Amino acid sequence: MVNFIKKILNDKKEYKEMMARVEALPGDYPEAYKKICNYMWTFSAGSGMDMLRIQYDLIDLFEDGAAEGKDVLEITGEDVTAFANGLIEQAKRWDDKLRNNLNKSILDRVGKKK
């Protein structure tokens, strides 16, 4: 139980640090980040850990763009949905394992007959 509580406290601390980075971004970056993340979580299909990695990568990308003086749309493009969909595609899905297992089981079986 103690480890569980420590994990929750560490996760909360990490989230606050992540959001502090987001809030430190200039201009429209924080709002764009939050909206993109909300959209991505709506369509996420994995454990969530991949989504967190993608969110950290997005913060890095936005920080780099802001440091170069770029507007947020210079990073995302005008089709922000397509940009977000591209990010979502990087996440592992829970059903990827099922697909891989199906392919492997059939290929192992059929491959032995050849």
Give the H/E segment covering residue 87: helix 80-88
Could you tell me the domains of the chain?
A: 2-113 (1.10.1900.10)
- 3-state DSSP call for residue 73? helix
Give the H/E segment covering residue 40: helix 29-43
- Average pLDDT for the chain: 87
**Which amino acid, residue 93?**
R
- 3-state DSSP call for residue 59? helix
Are 47 and 94 in contact, with CB atoms under 8 Å apart?
Answer: yes
Q: Tell me which DSSP letter residue 1 carries.
A: -
- Asked if the model's pLDDT at residue 95 lies above 90, the reply is no
Q: pLDDT tens digits for 32-73?
A: 999 999 999 887 766 677 788 899 999 999 999 999 999 999
pTM score of the predicted model? 0.75
- Asked if the model's pLDDT at residue 21 lies above 90, the reply is yes
Are 29 and 73 in contact, with CB atoms under 8 Å apart?
Answer: no
